[in-house]
Amino acid sequence: MAVREILILPDKRLRLVSEPIKRVDAGIRKLVEDLFETMYAAPGIGLAAIQVGIAKRIFTADLSKKEEDRQPQVFINPEITWASEEKSVREEGCLSIPDYYEDIERSAAMKVKYLDLDGKTQETEAKDLFAACIQHEIDHLNGVLFIDYLSKLKRDRITKKFTKAAKTAKKVEA
């Protein structure tokens, strides 16, 4: 297992649409281990493979609290099969956009179909934070970031801030 580097905005790879996984094999299982280790180290509640530079349709999630036992979940080739018309608004953040949070409106409940680590089809119903997490991570697989739900002005402002920070970091490294 290894903690991988998380891509940070404005990295263009975050906008890639991830490819479906054809087979759940040892390479995918290793990727899942790394995703969990990276997600827990960050710390976060979800991490899509594209956030570590792997354009595959897979993400990990664990909504357990620090004092609870971990409840790791893996979603391979996830697809939303139903989403409620009822919406809910909650504050979201993203490991690829560190220290920036904003209220985002999403479906309050949904169903997702996916493959598990044994390659078997599963379907899960989710609501509240779990539903928001799944929708957020599936967005990543489609090249969408949570800031895309904001006004153009806010989105441009945050993108500019992270672009400037990335340029400053490159100058420091040089």
The CA angle 85-134-33, to the nearest 5 degrees, is 170
Pairwise CA distance, residues 109 & 99, whole Å? 26
Two structure tokens written together for 98: 């560190």
Rounded (10°) CA dihedral 73, 77, 82, 84: 50
ω before 43 within 30° of 0 (cis)? yes
Two structure tokens written together for 100: 């920036």
Count, residues in the chain: 174
Active site residue 137: yes
Catalytic-role residue among 5, 33, 105, 137? 137
Neighbours of 77 (CB within 10 A): 19
Q: Which residues touch 26 (CB under 8 Å, ≥6 apart)?
A: none
Pairwise CA distance, residues 168 & 85, whole Å? 43
Catalytic (active-site) positions: 137
